Amino acid sequence: MHAFFSFIAAVLPALLLVRYFYKANPAPKRFIVKVFLLGVIYTLPVYILEVILARYNMFPRWSFVLYYFFEAFIVAGLCEEYIKLRIIKKYVYGTVFFQGERDGIIFTVVASMGFACMENILYVVNHSWNMALARGFTAVPMHAVCSGVMGYSLGKAKRSQILNRLAEEKKYINQGLWEAILIHGCYDFFLFLSPILGSVFAMFTIPLVLGYYLELRNKMKRMGPEARI
C-alpha cells in the first residue's frame, strides 16, 4: 500500500497537467497522447546520455561548486532539455498542429511531463514517500516551466520559418534551448548545494520556478484570451 501511494504521488501532478492540455488543445487527442508517450520512451536515452556525460566530470568532489555546476548544467540541464527539443523537432514541429507559441508551449510541456512522470517513477523505486511527494510538487513544475519557456521560443521559431526567416528561426530555437538549460541547471544546482551549504539554497528554487512561470503567463496573456494557460 505504501508503494502504491508513493507511485500515485510521483505521477499524479504530471498526469493532471497533461490532462489539462489534453482537453485544451484542438489537435487530435491521440496525437497529444503520442507526444506524452514519446517523453516517457525518451527517458531511457536521456539516462544513457547522462551516464556518459557524468564520466566527463573531471572536477573532484571536494571542489563541490565546480563539480555540481557540471552535474547541474551539463549532465542534467543540457542533456534533458536537448532531448525534449529533439522530440518536438522530430515529431511535432513539422506537423500542421504546430503553428505558433501556444502550440509550442503545449506540446513541449506535454513531452516533458512524459519524461518527468517516468523520472519520478524511477526515483520512487529507490527512495521514500517523502521523495515522491517532493518531486511531484517541485520537479514537475520545474520541468513544465523549462519546457514552456523553450516551447514559447519554438513557437516564435515556427512563425519565422513560415515567413522564410531561417536565421531568425535558428536564433529562437537556440534561445529557447539555452534558456531552458539555464532554468533547469540553476534548479538542480541549488538542490545539489543545499546538503553542503544549507537548506536555504533549496528554497531558491521556489522563486526561480515561480518567476519564470509568471513571466510565461504574462507572455501568453499578451497573445489574447485564446492563448492563455
What are 30-87's pLDDT values in tens digits?
898 899 999 999 999 999 999 999 998 888 877 889 999 999 999 999 999 999 999 9
Q: Which residue has the cell 509568471?
A: 214
**CB of 21 within 8 A of CB of 32?**
yes
pLDDT band for position 126 (cuts 50, 70, 90): low
pLDDT band for position 178 (cuts 50, 70, 90): very high
Residue 24 has pLDDT above 80, yes or no: no
Please tell me whether the overall predicted TM-score, pTM, comes out greater than 0.95 for this model: no
Residue 175 has pLDDT above 60, yes or no: yes
Separation of alpha carbons 214 and 29, rounded Å: 28
| Cα Rg of the chain, angstroms | 17
pLDDT of res. 119: 81
Rounded mean pLDDT, 109-128: 80
User: Concatenated DSSP letters for 124-174?
Assistant: HHHS-HHHHHHHHHHHHHHHHHHHHHHHHHHHHHHHHHHTT-HHHHHHHHH
Mean pLDDT of the chain: 85
Query: Which range scores top for mean pLDDT: 6-15, 18-27, 89-98?
Result: 89-98
**CB of 71 within 8 A of CB of 51?**
no
pLDDT of res. 131: 58
Range of the domain at 142: 2-227
Residue 107 has pLDDT above 80, yes or no: yes
How many domains does the chain divide into?
1
Q: Which residues contact 139 (CB under 8 A, 6 or more apart)?
A: 116, 119, 120
pLDDT band for position 155 (cuts 50, 70, 90): very high
Rounded mean pLDDT, 6-15: 70
Separation of alpha carbons 57 and 202, rounded Å: 23
Separation of alpha carbons 168 and 57, rounded Å: 34
The C-alpha cell at 19 is 490532462
Nearest CA among 29, 183, 195 for reference residue 106? 29
pLDDT band for position 29 (cuts 50, 70, 90): confident
